[in-house]
């Protein structure tokens, strides 16, 4: 995976999360520190976002990898993009 | 010593598929309209039991990673709630006896018996305590009975005689069962009539929180556990809950519990314990943290304090 591809994938994650947040989320330290409850995401919408990420990134995740994920940075780490 | 007072064996024998069917029914109704069917199915799948651990080995591994010394395994008697759809109770008991023998000193088992089994249920419970070393009674009122039902009196008499506690589920559960008897107040009559028996409101610090807290504050033999707090924490509301219990002077009534494996996809046991012990969790002192992680459960379960080495409460 090149750095450019990785950043493109991060941008896809941010674009998806923006749809849940109802506002544009750029990739920044502030955004990565945002907790999911701060952008209005429940456990269910979180699961929905993960499934949508599987489609957008053409990957399949083990949901157990998301245990303890609380903010955007955690999510990026869980899917190997940080 | 750290005690997780609320866990289950990760096995379809214990947590049957029909239990999760109800959750996924509900999830489908909560999702936005017009999502592709495959997408909905994949989300629903993520809420099913992902782990099979009938011997308890993974439970012990997760406990070790979290620094948890003892876990209380709860048997739920689903047979009358889901007739013909679950493993017979005697097989479930046998599976727990095997786990108890496989992991000595690491697990404690609470016998789940539906009081509508009558005399045979009382005998099974007594045998589980007297012969097999089980240490408490687990009640699951969503199967269709109140924890204050007089049919439970012989069970509570045995609890008093053997000095073992009761943990009863509170709050909503799978929509395939009834929520009718799951309010904390359903327990009050029994707790008043059996003052020498300790009762724990399972999930009491998470669901119907204010009503559960009121009972724990004024009824000496009622306690609350934290099972399911991982979800509240992800919602950003756990710190304020801990502060609430501290202000109410209820930290001696709170027992650490994870409900493993139910919420292990929200937070591992290690993450849950870390979160409970974290610096921003309502300002707990090391002593208060030790109450929640160890002392309170030890007193309720009648487990002696370790004779050597100070309790492990380091975050």
| Domain harbouring B212, CATH code | 3.20.20.140
Q: Which of A43, A54, A66 sits opposite B231 (nearest CB)?
A: A43
pLDDT over threshold 50, residue B301: yes
Q: Which of B10, B28, B33, B42 to mutate to test the interface with A (most CBs of A within 10 A)?
A: B42
Domain count, chain B: 1
Predicted pLDDT of residue B282: 64
How confident is the model at residue B308, as a pLDDT? 53
> Does residue B50 carry a pLDDT above 80?
no
What is the pLDDT, as a whole number, of residue A44? 85
Res. B114 pLDDT band, cuts 50 70 90: very high
Q: What is the pLDDT of residues A30-56, one digit of tens each?
A: 999 999 888 988 888 888 899 999 999
- Is the dihedral angle over the CA atoms B58, B60, B61, B65 positive or is it negative? positive
Fold that domain A3-78 belongs to in CATH:
1.10.1200
Distance from CA of A72 to the nearest CA of B (A): 12
Of B234 and A11, the structure prediction assigns the larger pLDDT to A11
Q: Does B266 touch chain A if contact means CB atoms closer than 8 Å?
A: yes
Q: CA-to-CA distance for B168 and B252, rounded, in angstroms?
A: 19
Q: Look at B46 and A50 and tell me if their CB atoms are within 8 Å.
A: yes
Say if B160 falls within a structural domain. Answer: yes
Would the CB atoms of A64 and B43 count as touching at under 8 Å? Answer: no
Query: B70 φ, ψ to 5°?
Result: -135, 140
For B197, list phi and psi in degrees, rounded to 5.
-100, 130
Q: Which residues of A touch B236 (CB under 8 A)?
A: 35, 37-38
pLDDT of residue B270: 82
Around Cβ A7, how many Cβ atoms within 10 Å?
12
B105 touches chain A (CB under 8 A): no
Helix axes A3-21, A43-57, angle to 10 degrees: 140
Question: Would you state the pLDDT for residue B261?
Answer: 93
User: Does position B278 have pLDDT exceeding 70, yes or no?
Assistant: no
A37 to B235: CB separation less than 8 angstroms, yes or no: yes
Q: Which domain holds residue B272?
A: 3-14+52-301
Q: Percent of chain B beyond pLDDT 90?
A: 75
R_g (Cα) of chain A, nearest Å? 12
Asked, for residue B21, whether it belongs to a domain, the answer is no
Query: Is the confidence metric ipTM above 0.85 for this complex?
Result: no
Nearest CA in chain A to B263: A67
- The answer, yes or no, to whether residue B195 has pLDDT greater than 60, is yes
- Chain A's closest residue to B266, CA to CA, is A67
Mean pLDDT in residue range B55-72: 95
Residue B133 or residue B50, greater confidence: B133
Q: CB contacts < 8 Å between A and B, how many?
A: 52
Residue B288 covered by a domain? yes
Count of C-beta atoms within a 10 Å radius of residue B225:
31
pLDDT for the residue B314? 46
Tell me the average pLDDT across B112-141. 98
CA-based nearest distance A9→chain B, Å:
20
Give the separation between CA B15 and CA B73, rounded to whole angstroms: 12
pLDDT value at B54 more than 90: yes
Nearest to B11 by CA among B73, B69, B72, B82: B73
The answer to whether B236 contacts A64, with C-beta atoms less than 8 Å apart, is no
């Amino acid at each position: 995976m090149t750095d450019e591809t990785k950043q493109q994938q991060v941008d896809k994650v941010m674009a998806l999360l923006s749809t849940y947040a109802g506002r544009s989320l750029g990739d920044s330290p502030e955004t990565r520190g945002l907790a999911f409850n701060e952008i209005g995401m429940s456990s269910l919408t979180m699961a929905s976002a993960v499934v949508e990420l599987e489609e957008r990134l053409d990957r399949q995740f083990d949901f157990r990898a998301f245990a303890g994920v609380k903010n955007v940075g955690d999510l990026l780490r869980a899917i190997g993009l940080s | 010593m750290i005690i997780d007072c609320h866990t289950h064996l990760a096995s379809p024998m214990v947590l049957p598929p029909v239990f999760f069917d109800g959750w996924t029914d509900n999830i489908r109704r909560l999702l936005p309209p017009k999502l592709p069917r495959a997408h909905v199915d994949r989300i629903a799948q993520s809420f099913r039991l992902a782990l099979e651990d009938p011997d308890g080995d993974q439970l012990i591994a997760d406990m070790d990673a979290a620094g948890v010394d003892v876990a209380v395994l709860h048997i739920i008697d689903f047979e009358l709630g889901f007739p013909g759809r679950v493993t017979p109770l005697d097989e479930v008991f046998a599976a727990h006896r095997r786990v108890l023998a496989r992991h000595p000193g690491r697990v404690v088992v609470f016998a789940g018996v539906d009081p509508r089994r009558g005399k045979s249920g009382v005998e099974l419970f007594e045998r589980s305590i007297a012969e097999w070393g089980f240490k408490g009674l687990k009640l699951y009122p969503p199967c269709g009975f109140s924890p204050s039902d007089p049919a439970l009196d012989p069970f509570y008499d045995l609890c008093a005689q053997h000095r073992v506690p009761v943990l009863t589920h509170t709050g909503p559960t799978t929509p395939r069962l009834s929520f009718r008897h799951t309010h904390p107040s359903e327990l009050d009559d029994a707790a008043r009539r059996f003052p020498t028996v300790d009762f724990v409101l399972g999930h009491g610090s998470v669901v119907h929180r204010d009503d559960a807290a009121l009972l724990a504050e004024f009824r000496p033999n009622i306690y609350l556990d934290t099972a399911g707090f991982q979800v509240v924490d992800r919602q950003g509301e756990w710190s304020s809950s801990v502060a609430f219990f501290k202000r109410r002077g209820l930290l001696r009534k709170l027992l650490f519990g994870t409900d493993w494996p139910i919420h292990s996809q929200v937070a591992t046991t290690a993450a849950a314990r870390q979160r409970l012990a974290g610096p921003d969790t309502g300002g707990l002192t090391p002593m208060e943290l030790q109450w929640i992680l160890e002392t309170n459960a030890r007193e309720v379960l009648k487990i002696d304090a370790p004779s050597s080495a100070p309790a492990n409460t380091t975050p």
